[in-house]
Amino acid sequence: MELTEKQFRLTKRRIEILHELGLFSAEDVLSYYPFRYEILSCSPFEEWQIKDKVHFEGEVVSSVRSWRHGKITTSSFEVSAFDRILKITIFNRPWAKNLTLNQIITIQGVYMGSNKVTAMSYDTKPLSEHDAVTPVYSTKADIRQQTIRDSVRRVYEAMENEILDEVPEELIRRYRLLRKRDALYKIHFPETPKDVSLAVRTLKYEEFLRFFTAVQMVRDEERNGIIKMPRIFDMEKVRKLAAALPYDLTRDQKTALEEICADMSSTRPMYRLVQGDVGCGKTAVACLAMYAAALSGRQSALLAPTEILARQHKASIDAILKGTGIRCEALYAGLSAPEKRRILEEIESGTLKIVVGTHSLIQETVKFQDLGLVVADEQQRFGVEQRKALREKGNQTDFLLMSATPIPRTLAATIFGDMDVSTIETMPAGRKDPQTVYIGENSFRKVLDEVKDLLAQGRQLYIICAAVDQSEDYDARNVYDTAEAIRKLFPQYQTGVLHGRMSSEEKQNVMNDFAEGRTRILVSTTVVEVGMNVVNATGMIIYDADRFGLSQLHQLRGRIQRGSVQGKCWLLSGSRDEKTIERLNVLVGSNNGFEISYQDLRLRGPGDILGTRQSGLPDLILGNVAEDTAMIDQARKDAARIWNERDNPDYAALLSSVRIRNEKNIMYAD
């Protein structure tokens, strides 16, 4: 339900603030859960240890002194508490100067020893009037916690009698769950920590049950009871071509190929994901699958996210299929009109069995005679509707997706529950890992000589920035200022700039210049994460590395180990946060994509990492697929039973909610 001033007793400005937080409906507001809680715990002064978080009441006994240093305002004053005088310091609270002598205030802060406290916050309410548990919401600059809390309360009070249980009654009773209305109340307005844990348990289970019910629904609609004609081909020919490659397939590659070919030979349309780390050989497996499709007389289409990657795939496929008589062409915007017309005619006539392309493949002008297999590379880059549009160009089409964000086998069935999953974990023999160095400042001056040597040897360098241009709201190195500085530092080398706001043609020209060696240094946002296979680029500098997820950083550094020369990645971060430093050091110590993605899932959840929004499945807010394994297993079983008995009226509310959410998610897929 859309937020309105009258119904929810919200001012126009308050609605604008909620919109700034990405909250546009009552449901959005009620599911905007606190990310932590402040527990009012008042220990006597004698028990305080240095660095302890403390909460206490005191009387102001000195005037407030304030001074400014750069952007930081510091205020200090003294209070009487616990029969002693405590010196209080607080930052960026210029209004603290309004405190008056003998005023009673409640302070929350950190004890620094020697009767000194660094305050995080204070207010003028006596300690006895404070809530025992206070929710803390994720917010933006200038949006106060109290504003969010008050808005959530108003929306809850307006909706309280309309909040229905989606979890079936039998499951609420079996697992002793709260009613949805009570769970939402306790998560937003808890009186005790137990209220929070009961609410989280209920809402988390509901999320997982919805998720797995959606998986069942999507899976059923994807397959839709279709019986296809099996692809008839000589599997020995496929194995013979694999054996003739100049390298041996790994055990996992062979297993994945056998699983794919078995799917293609079955009477059920294939909907399979091949996942594996950067450089594990997914493309070779996909090529052999397309060869099998060609042997059966069917056409294949490989959808790639960029023109450069499409051309690289064509080169790889040509090398594998050399001598088989089966041709591959690449279709993309940069082709001449006569060349494009020729390829389109060969696709329509069926004489061309394999075509690789970007979004060009989805256009109406592309007509296949008999499309039997669709392969989507970097599957999270394409929305549901894009993948569906290509698959519908064929009849009873098999579908193969490839992802270089690998998930441990035990979790893959959860996250990709609507697909069959093949995992390539073993890496090709002799493959080098990029070397990663963490630098505890946002500058590469400490390794400048190494960078100079790399460029002097004729190698190329990526420099990754988190922002496109300067912004007051986003304090990070940006592409344009960085490129200007790099040109001054290295005037002898051509420096290019690449980011997502450029037109497709501009991006393509920049990537072509780098791929062909005209540009030696490329300053870019994360758009190079996929689609760049420049063997000569062996160095990468990543500014503000703490702003990226581990899986994304792992993907980025995969760009610099495409050949036999040792690649080197420098992670720059000025963060002093211990958890951030620990997180970045995971990359220094490991090149195992499965281990890295597990840590990312544990820390950040699947939505950010895998683009699950684009799968048509709901995102998880409270649930953590890496940690809530027991609840996940039970919710999966419950969802399967509910779907098998979906005519039961007790399940109507859940199924209706899931169907509406699925349609909404697919509608907004990128």
Q: Where are the chain's structural domains?
A: 41-130, 235-266+280-403, 435-590
Residues 422-475 have pLDDT tens digits of 989 888 776 778 899 999 999 999 999 999 999 999 999 999 998 887 765 567
Most confident of 66-75, 293-302, 373-382, 560-569: 293-302
What is the token pair recorded at 86? 């405590």
Max CA-CA distance within the chain? 92
How confident is residue 531, by pLDDT bands cut at 50, 70 and 90?
low
Q: What is the pLDDT of residue 621?
A: 81
Residues 305-359 have pLDDT tens digits of 778 788 889 999 999 999 999 999 999 877 889 999 999 999 999 999 999 998 8
Q: How far apart are CA 398 and CA 413, in angstroms?
A: 20
Q: What is the pLDDT of residue 301?
A: 94
Range with lowest mean pLDDT among 11-15, 30-34, 188-192, 388-392? 388-392
Give buried/exposed letters for 426-465 (b at 16+ CB in 10 A, else e).
bbeeeeeebebebbeeeebeebeeebeebbeeebbbbbbb
Average pLDDT taken over every residue of the chain:
87
Q: Is 90 exceeded by the pLDDT of residue 175?
A: yes
How confident is residue 494, by pLDDT bands cut at 50, 70 and 90?
very high
Q: What is the pLDDT of residue 627?
A: 78
Q: Is 50 exceeded by the pLDDT of residue 670?
A: no
Q: How far apart are CA 669 and CA 390, in angstroms?
A: 15
| Residue type (1 letter), 79 | V
Give 474-483 contacts, CB < 8 A, sequence gap 24+: 476/543, 476/544, 476/547, 477/442, 477/543, 477/544, 479/523, 479/524, 479/525, 482/523, 482/543, 483/523
How confident is residue 558, by pLDDT bands cut at 50, 70 and 90?
confident
3-state secondary structure of 444: coil
Total-model pTM: 0.66
Residues 596-620 have pLDDT tens digits of 877 777 766 555 444 443 344 456 7
Any idea what the Cα angle at residue 597 is, between residues 593 and 602, rounded to 5°? Answer: 155
Phi then psi dihedrals of residue 77, to 5 deg: -160, 175
Assign domain 41-130 to its CATH superfamily.
Nucleic acid-binding proteins (2.40.50.140)
Q: Is 80 exceeded by the pLDDT of residue 244?
A: yes
Q: What is the pLDDT of residue 564?
A: 74
Q: What is the pLDDT of residue 668?
A: 34
Q: Considering only residues 322 and 380, tell me which one the structure prediction assigns the higher pLDDT.
A: 322
Q: What is the pLDDT of residue 504?
A: 76
Q: What's the Cα-to-Cα distance from 431 to each of 276, 278, 280, 561, rounded to whole Å?
A: 14, 11, 9, 9
Q: What percent of the chain has pLDDT over 90?
A: 51
Q: Which residues pair with 401 in a beta bridge?
A: 273, 376
Which residue's entry shows tokens 């959410």?
A: 661
Assign domain 435-590 to its CATH superfamily.
P-loop containing nucleotide triphosphate hydrolases (3.40.50.300)
Check residue 564 and report its DSSP letter.
S
Check residue 478 and report its DSSP letter.
B
Q: Considering only residues 296 and 380, tell me which one the structure prediction assigns the higher pLDDT.
A: 296
How confident is residue 75, by pLDDT bands cut at 50, 70 and 90?
very high
Indicate the Cα dihedral angle 557, 559, 560, 561, nearest 10°.
Answer: 100
Q: Are 669 and 224 in contact (CB under 8 A)?
A: no
Assign domain 235-266+280-403 to its CATH superfamily.
P-loop containing nucleotide triphosphate hydrolases (3.40.50.300)
Burial label, 18 (beta-carbon count in 10 A; 0-12, 13-18, 19+)? buried
Q: What is the pLDDT of residue 613?
A: 37
Q: What is the pLDDT of residue 224?
A: 60
Which residue's entry shows tokens 């073993």?
A: 426
Are 41-130 and 435-590 the same fold in CATH?
no
